[in-house]
A and B are shown apart, each in its own frame.
Chain A
Amino acid sequence: MIQKPVLPKNWVAVGFSQDLEKGQINIVIIEELELVIWRDHKGQAHAWDNRCPHRGTRLSLGFVRGNQLACLYHGWQFGGDGQCVYTPSIPDSTPPKSLKAHTHRCVEFLGLIWVAPLDFEHKDIRGLESHVRDSMDFQPVRSMIIYCSAENIFNRLASIPFPPSRIMSRRLRSISNMRLIRETESVFLWEDDENRTLASYQFREIQPDFVEFNCESEGTADVLLFALQKIDSQKTALHLLLAPENWSSDPISLKLAYAQWSKKLRNQLEQVF
């Protein structure tokens, strides 16, 4: 028998706040449970089961009107608490209290949208906050879907590509023989032929599926955050954030360089060994 998927009892990042504008609707999957994510016109983000209680239509097909999410099929409107407030076929009636969409906990933190079950006892995401280094100015690089299980992403990091500094630095570009070595469980080194370190990655688990990477090369240290969202046993969404040592020089090129780096990472992770 197939079990109905349920949300894990944890905060899961499902995308960047900046990618969900007011009035926008998105569809995300967490461990096979399909959710609709939407932002009302007050700016509040919501995460619900992606299913209308009327005829089971995916609410992600619908539309946001004011602070309500409406279903495309018959236009039923649901307020932020999931309560159905309007059934256009009988416009003057008040829908019963029991007529509700299935809602989840949804907060925003670090520029990410996070989802957890309503009965998750660690209601406060601040718990996570204390583990992320203060004073770091994290900004989104991008979200991407990777055909690789979340577990395998960490197993396959043995192929993490050279940091983008290689694109920037002429010296690094000229070196052709370099190799990646796993120094310890959590430290990776890129070395040249003479065992000189060209770049290093060090990672630290903040919570399972939320990992900080310190990435040093050419005398600069960038911090990356990997927020992983398990989609199913084969697919994972990676939400990548960046806090460079300093944002001032050329932030756009730096973000773009990491976006391109992440495509290389995806390619490597998707290779079947």
Chain B
Amino acid sequence: MTKTTDPVAINDWQVIGRIDDFLKGQPKQTRLLGQSLVAERHKNGDIKVHEISELGETLRSCPVQEKFGHVWTTLGKPKRELFDIPEFQQIDRKYVGCGGVMVKASALRVVENFLDIGHFPYVHTDFLGSEPLTEVKDYKAEIRIDVDEVWADDISFHQDKAMLSATGGKAVEYMYRVVSPFNTVLYKTCPEKPEEWDIIGLFAQPLEENLCRVYAFMLVFDSQNTETDLIHFQQMIFFQDIIILENQLPVGVPLYDGAERSIKADKTQLQFRKWLKQKGLQFGTDQET
């Protein structure tokens, strides 16, 4: 496919890799929103990103920034700064990057799945939930106009093994925060430090309408487990989701009425869809025919 014409996706910051993926003298090709890019770290340490043509000719250079362990660029002129995740500044948190995993689905389906609690007992059985404790109790979900984000709050769900550091099943509190259409973080009860929240996040690189690369990360308080243990746990959870994500039809998220049926438990997703519609985002959505 060719570069999208969707101005909303173009004029926003998007992730293109982990900071560690770009080593000096090793230019890397990647895709973003249907456009081929080449990124290279130069001798002075800066990363330069260019759009390239099918034939490999350099077309134009793109702004770059390195933040939150990842590299960000844009194909247009972002109207706002890259979002902030202040918890990255808390030095006593353990940061764990899980690497980029490709998913044959729209990046928006990936974000929606991340915001969803109802699937825990069936998709993450014996870890994030199990029958018969399937009920999703009422909670709050809203578009926060002041920050232009979607938030969900007051969520509590019974989990068998909520985090690697959790011992025994218990009710776990959640908050969700969608910082931009393809990027989201969640806050959940921290087993080791009850006064803090553990953070898990997803940065999704929208490669094509139906293909993305997802970078999961954790910002947690965990003195017991090694980084490898934590990566395994997070990758396990994410690969349980992949089988669902690659089997949803249509591939794009439908924003028009009547395409998919929802229930009370789907509040966050409905707010997310409403927010996307207000923005006029097209990339990764399903168009009514």
A48 to chain B, nearest CB (A): 14
A72 touches B135 (CB 8 A): no
**Which chain A residues numbered 31 to 59 have a C-beta less than 8 Å away from chain B?**
51, 53-58
Which residues of B have CB within 8 Å of A54?
A: 260-263
Q: Of A72, A87, A88, A99, which is within 8 A of B131 by CB?
A: A88
Q: Of A73, A89, A91, which is within 8 A of B244 by CB?
A: A73
Q: Of A1, A51, A74, A88, which is within 8 A of B249 by CB?
A: A51
A89 touches B260 (CB 8 A): no
B276 within 8 Å of A (CB atoms): no
A74 touches B119 (CB 8 A): yes
Nearest residue, chain A, Cβ from B269: A55
Which residues of A have CB within 8 Å of B262?
A: 54
Instruction: Give chain A's interface residues, CB within 8 Å of chain B.
Output: 1, 51, 53-58, 61, 72-75, 87-91, 93, 99
Which residues of B have CB within 8 Å of A90?
A: 135-136, 263-265
Main secondary structure of the interface of A (DSSP, over half): loop
A-B interface pairs (CB < 8 A), number: 66
Most chain-B Cβ atoms within 10 A of its Cβ — which of A54, A57, A74, A90?
Answer: A74
Main secondary structure of the interface of B (DSSP, over half): loop
A56 touches B249 (CB 8 A): yes
B118 touches A74 (CB 8 A): yes
A57 touches B247 (CB 8 A): yes
- Chosen A-B contacts, 19 in total, with CB atoms closer than 8 Å, are A51-B249, A54-B261, A55-B112, A56-B260, A57-B244, A57-B247, A72-B122, A73-B119, A74-B116, A75-B122, A88-B135, A89-B117, A90-B135, A90-B263, A90-B264, A90-B265, A91-B132, A91-B135, A93-B263
B1 to chain A, nearest CB (A): 16
Q: Of B117, B131, B260, which is within 8 A of A55 by CB?
A: B260
A61 touches B243 (CB 8 A): yes
- Given the known interface contacts A54-B260, A54-B261, A99-B261, the answer about A89 and B118 at a Cβ–Cβ threshold of 8 Å is yes
Contact indicator per residue, chain B 109-145, by CB within 8 Å of chain A (1) or not (0): 0001000111101110000000110111000000000
Which residues of A have CB within 8 Å of B263?
A: 54, 87, 89-90, 93
Nearest residue, chain B, Cβ from A71: B122
B116 to chain A, nearest CB (A): 8
Which residues of B have CB within 8 Å of A89?
A: 117-118, 134-136, 263-265
B134 to chain A, nearest CB (A): 4
Q: How far is the CA of A72 from the CA of B248 in the complex (A)?
A: 11
Which residues of B have CB within 8 Å of A75?
A: 121-122, 131, 134
B289 within 8 Å of A (CB atoms): yes
Instruction: Contacts A57-B248, A90-B263 known; list 15 others, CB within 8 Å.
Output: A51-B249, A53-B260, A54-B261, A55-B112, A55-B248, A56-B249, A57-B244, A61-B244, A73-B119, A73-B244, A75-B131, A88-B131, A90-B135, A90-B136, A90-B264
Nearest residue, chain A, Cβ from B250: A56
Which residues of B have CB within 8 Å of A57?
A: 244, 247-248
Which residues of A have CB within 8 Å of B249?
A: 51, 56, 58
- Given the known interface contacts A56-B249, A89-B135, A91-B134, the answer about A1 and B289 at a Cβ–Cβ threshold of 8 Å is yes
Which residues of B have CB within 8 Å of A74?
A: 116, 118-119, 122
Top 6 nearest A-B pairs (CB, nearest first) are A88-B134, A89-B265, A89-B118, A58-B247, A89-B136, A74-B118
A72 touches B244 (CB 8 A): yes
Q: How far is the CA of A89 from the CA of B123 in the complex (A)?
A: 13
B144 to chain A, nearest CB (A): 24
- Given the known interface contacts A89-B265, A91-B134, the answer about A73 and B123 at a Cβ–Cβ threshold of 8 Å is yes
Q: How far is the CA of A57 from the CA of B263 in the complex (A)?
A: 16
